[in-house]
């Protein structure tokens, strides 16, 4: 059974921004949840899997894929794997999925695989009112998975209360797959198969959605022995609630390993691309070099007490940033990619 625990909502004042640990506070665009409706006996589905894989390869930090197995063609026979789930069957029913392959990009209606790329590009170019971050911890003895989710609203929500959704998927499950192009595959690599929802299928309600609001939630789930936790991912997303078969739009989605993953780790990896600022000591303008960031990021400048003084948006591929420190008092400051390690900067006028 899944149990949300220690749910809380905090309203952050500007001086409290340093308390954010999993999520940035700079406005971001939407990220994408691509839900593939698929089945092991669907011969046209492998071609759709290729489309989804190519999309993820093009957008590794901003697109999350979940394969939702269901329908009559998902029923296994012989030694075929059973990739169905209670949550998957409910989603097929709720969104009236009558055939496969189909998919939903941020739950904006069912589409064929040929339409996914355009829909993903449109979503990624759209502003999001909220940012999401996540961290997981897995206790080997009890097999209890703990998922911490943080939201930060950079703009007011659309009006209705939003929902947080958390699910668990499993990767690299090898077994039968029908394939009309290459012939039936006895040892097909099934990717991102939905195992369960950790929250209720309808999500966990968020009642404070005004700009500057922070939401912190914790969820726990006992992982069955049959699931390989090292191949499992926790997926969290936030958006408007669904109304019957009418899906609510998803604003952002993230995925991290279930066995100790965090969105902070994504930022920390980018820290390796962060160069040493110059000149040192600085009196007016400082150049912070980068080694071609692989994704958009946020650079934060902290004072000696760890308080965030400034946040600057960094574009994908950007190679330097110019900071004006002329108004700062003499002293030692720290800068870094949000969520990553800090480097020191000396200001001396």
pLDDT tens readout for residues 184-201? 999 999 999 999 999 999
- 3-class secondary-structure state, position 241: coil
Measured in whole angstroms, how far is the alpha carbon of residue 195 from the centre of its chain?
17
Sequence ranges of the domains in the chain? 2-261, 269-347
pLDDT at 12: 30
Element (H, E) at 89: helix 86-94
* pLDDT of amino acid 172: 93
Task: Assess whether pLDDT exceeds 80 at residue 220.
Answer: yes
Distance CA 194, CA 201 (A): 12
pLDDT at 40: 98
Of 300 and 170, which is predicted with more confidence? 170
DSSP letter (8 states) at residue 293: -
Phi, psi of 336 (to 5 degrees): 175, 170
Distance CA 280, CA 333 (A): 12
Question: pLDDT band at 17, cuts 50/70/90?
Answer: very low
CATH value of 269-347 in 2.60.40.3080, 2.50.20.10, 3.10.20.30, 3.40.50.1860: 2.60.40.3080
φ and ψ of 334, to 5 deg: -135, 140
- At residue 296, does pLDDT exceed 80? no
Domain 2-261 shares a fold with domain 269-347: yes
pLDDT cut 70: percent of the chain above it: 86
* Mean pLDDT value of segment 173-186: 96
Q: Tell me the C-alpha distance between 102 and 245, whole Å.
A: 15
- Phi and psi, residue 267, nearest 5°: -70, -40
* pLDDT confidence tier of residue 293, bands split at 50, 70 and 90: low
Q: Which residues of 34-43 are buried (b: 16+ CB within 10 A; e: fewer)?
A: bbbbbbbbbb
pLDDT above 80: residue 121: yes
Q: Of all helices (H) and strands (E), which one includes residue 341?
A: none
Strand-pair category, 162-170 with 144-153: unpaired
Contact residues for 18 (Cβ-Cβ < 8 A; gap 6+): 302, 306, 307, 308
pLDDT value, residue 4 = 39
Stretch 91-98: mean pLDDT: 95
* Residue 19 pLDDT: 37
Separation of alpha carbons 261 and 145, rounded Å: 11
Please tell me whether residue 116 adopts helix, strand or coil conformation. Answer: helix
**Residues 6 or more apart whose Cβ sits within 8 Å of residue 121:** none
The residues pairing with 51 across neighbouring beta strands, listed in sequence order, are: none
| Pick from 1-10, 108-117, 224-233: least confident | 1-10
The answer to whether 321 and 288 have CB atoms below 8 angstroms apart is: yes
Q: Is residue 236 pLDDT above 70, yes or no?
A: yes
- Give the CATH fold of the 2-261 domain: Immunoglobulin-like (2.60.40)
Q: Give the CA radius of gyration of the chain.
A: 22
pLDDT tens digits along 250-268: 999 999 999 888 887 554 4
Q: Is the dihedral of CA 90, 216, 206, 8 positive or negative?
A: positive
More confident call, 303 vs 272: 303
The answer, yes or no, to whether residue 11 has pLDDT greater than 50, is: no
> Which residues, in sequence order, are CB contacts of 115 under 8 Å at separation 6+?
none
Q: From residue 265, how far is each of 240, 269, 296, 341 by CA, in Å? A: 27, 6, 15, 10
Give Dmax over CA atoms of the chain in angstroms.
77
Task: Check whether 302 has a pLDDT greater than 70.
Answer: yes
Q: Which H/E stretch holds residue 344? A: strand 343-347
Burial call 53-71: b when 16+ CB within 10 Å, e when fewer: eebbeebebbbbbbbbbbb
Q: Average pLDDT of 271-289?
A: 82
What pLDDT score does 184 carry? Answer: 95
pLDDT tens per residue, range 44-85: 999 999 999 999 988 988 999 999 999 999 999 999 999 999
Note the pLDDT tens digit of each residue in 204-219: 999 999 999 889 899 9
């Amino acid at each position: 059974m899944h149990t949300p625990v220690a749910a809380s909502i905090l309203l952050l004042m500007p001086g409290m921004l340093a308390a954010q640990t999993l999520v940035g506070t700079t406005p971001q665009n939407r990220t994408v949840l691509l839900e593939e409706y698929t089945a092991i006996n669907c011969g046209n589905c492998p071609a759709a899997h290729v489309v989804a894989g190519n999309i993820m390869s093009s957008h590794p930090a901003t697109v999350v894929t979940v394969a939702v197995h269901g329908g009559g063609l998902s029923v296994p026979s012989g030694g075929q794997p059973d990739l169905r789930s209670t949550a998957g069957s409910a989603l097929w029913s709720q969104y009236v999925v009558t055939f496969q392959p189909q998919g939903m990009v941020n739950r904006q209606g069912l589409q064929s695989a040929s339409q996914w790329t355009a829909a993903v590009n449109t979503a990624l170019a759209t502003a999001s009112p909220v940012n999401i971050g996540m961290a997981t911890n897995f206790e080997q003895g009890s097999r209890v998975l703990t998922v911490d989710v943080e939201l930060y609203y950079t703009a007011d929500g659309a009006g209705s209360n939003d929902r947080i959704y958390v699910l668990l998927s499993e990767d690299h499950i090898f077994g039968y797959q029908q394939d009309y192009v290459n012939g039936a595959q006895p040892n097909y690599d099934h990717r991102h198969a939905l195992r369960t929802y950790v929250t209720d299928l309808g999500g966990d309600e968020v009642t404070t959605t005004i700009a500057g609001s922070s939401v912190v939630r914790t969820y726990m789930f006992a992982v069955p022995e049959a699931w390989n936790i090292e191949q499992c991912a926790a997926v969290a997303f936030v958006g408007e609630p669904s109304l019957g078969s009418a899906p609510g739009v998803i604003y952002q989605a993230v995925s991290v390993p279930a066995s100790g993953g965090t969105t902070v780790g994504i930022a920390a990896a980018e820290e390796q691309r962060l160069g040493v600022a110059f000149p040192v000591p600085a009196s007016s303008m400082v150049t912070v070099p980068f080694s071609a960031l692989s994704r958009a990021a946020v650079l934060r400048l902290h004072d000696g007490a760890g308080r965030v003084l400034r946040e600057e948006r960094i574009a994908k591929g950007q190679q330097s940033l110019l900071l004006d420190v002329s108004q700062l008092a003499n002293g030692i400051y720290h800068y870094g990619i949000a969520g990553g390690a800090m480097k020191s900067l000396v200001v001396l006028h």
